[in-house]
Chains A and B, each alone.
Chain A
Amino acid sequence: MRDDLPGMKKAFPILGVLTAILLSYALYESLVAAPTEQTMGDVQRIFYYHVPSAWTAFILFFVNFGASVFYLIKRNPAADIVALVSAEVGVVFCTVVLVTGPIWARPVWGIWWTWDMRLTSTLVLWLIYVSYLFLRRFSSSGQTPALAAALAVLGALCVPFVYFSIWFFRTQHPQPVMGGGGSIDPRMLHVLLINWLAFSCFAFLVCWSRYRLESLQREVDQAHALESLMDLRGGA
């Protein structure tokens, strides 16, 4: 289960350094280099954190769905760890989205929160994956993977229903940047994409180390279980 490939151990710090450089470059780009928005002013810059976090969270939830389906078919323990890790990191990024959104909305819309389509559906998505993490926490270890995978599939299937049901309310959120018909300064788009790249690298890095931690933890647990089994035999 553990990644003992010699290349992997070396790749980790390299990716770490690369992510650090990317993140600082992205920070400079979004706070200094990007042009100031005409009507909103500097508060618009939170957009460079808000949108990439949302994209990263959605990708991670998608990875969680894929890994869960794979686990249900193949019963592969590594797929289960990937599902767990992507849900955990996805919830963190989704929380960033839900926190940065109101900070931006207060000065621009004049309200912290509105029950608009995108806000509501992101909140429901967050609730679904938090309940997933609750299930993982509360179920006893041997049964967790299958139950969690089943819940992940149901949760992912719920997402289109959430969107359609909430779509019926009028939408207040700005149109999506890509494919929404809105126009964006190419300079801003460039900064946005840099940020997204940096955030994705960062998410991948965190997932990777969490994956290694989790597989080590499972090995330790297995060793403990085996040891107590041996003790029982020795005592009898």
Chain B
Amino acid sequence: MSAPTGITRVTLLKDLRLEWRSKDAVNSMLFFSLLVVVVFSFSFDPTAEESRQIAGGLIWVAFLFAAVVALNQTWAREIRNQVLDAYRVSPAPANSLFIAKAVGNFIFVSVLEALMTPLFIAFYRLRALGPVWQLLMVAVLGTWALVVNGTFFAAMSLRTRSREIMLPLLLFPISIPALLGMVQATTAILNGEGARFWLVLLATYDLVFTTVCLLLFETVLNAE
């Protein structure tokens, strides 16, 4: 195994182990999105037909807000004891670190989605009229779009004052096309319509932004 992938693997396993022992990110995300679900269902009280129209938006807004909770913690651990500075002076490639962090966040948010989706289905009496495998594709592509940009902007907001406020301010505007894609695709599939356009858009978005984040991450990590 070559050095860059080795570093990615080690960093990823370290993060997963830390998360497995503390369960900080997943627990706080779960509780947060549970709160969002409950508050939304109080404020709308929809029928089955209405909820099919709005569920796409609700699900993804809940996941987006919850993901910000986890993304904000991504780099916090590396700041303590100057781990990030040590990483910067080491010859390890910056992108290995970035990929490890992005994949780690992807796993955390996917776990959250897997646990929360049954709850959404129960609370909002959802039943998809379209193919369910497409929903899975939307989830994978959409989650990656959120975490790849989120990990990048979390690293960027490390270097700012009031960094916890900064992340959503940076992440949300850039994520609007992806978010629109996820919401529209989910709503279309729930209503039994095609979502091909949105899936292609999401895949292209993922491709472009992953590439650019990888190209620029070293600049952001070493911004001094």
Contact = CB atoms under 8 A, between A and B. Distances in A.
B177 A135 contact: no
A164 interface: yes
Contact of A143 (B159, B172, B208, B212): B159
A105 interface: no
Contacts of A34: none
Interface stretch (A51-59, A148-156, A196-204): A148-156
A128 B174 contact: yes
Contacts of A72: 216, 219
A147 B156 contact: yes
Contact of A135 (B152, B160, B205, B208): B160
Contacts of B177: 124, 158, 161-162, 164-165
Given A124-B173, A128-B173, A150-B216, A157 B208 contact: yes
Contacts of B161: 138-140
Given A151-B170, A153-B216, A154-B174, A142 B180 contact: no
A139 B160 contact: yes
Interface in A122-154: 124, 127-128, 130-131, 134-135, 138-140, 142-143, 146-147, 149-151, 153-154
Contacts of A138: 160-162, 166
Contacts of A153: 212, 216
Contacts of A206: none
Interface residues of B, number: 32
B173 A127 contact: yes
B180 A131 contact: no
B181 to A, nearest CB: 6
B11 interface: no
Given A150-B216, A150-B220, A157-B212, A135 B197 contact: no
Nearest to A163: B177
Contacts of B197: 168
Contacts of B162: 138
A166 interface: yes
Residue picked from B159, B161, B224, most chain A C-beta under 10 Å: B159
Interface string B151-180: 010001001111000100110111011101
Nearest to A158: B174
A161 B170 CA distance: 17
A151 B156 contact: yes
Contact of B173 (A131, A139, A142): A131
A135 B180 contact: no
A124 B174 CA distance: 9
A135 B170 contact: yes
B166 A166 contact: no
Nearest to B197: A168
A140 B169 CA distance: 17
Contacts of A166: 180
Nearest to B161: A138
5 contacts: A140-B159, A146-B220, A153-B212, A161-B178, A165-B201
Kindly list the 9 A-B residue pairs having the minimum CB-CB distance in the complex, ordered from nearest. A161-B177, A127-B173, A143-B223, A139-B160, A138-B160, A146-B223, A165-B177, A150-B216, A128-B173
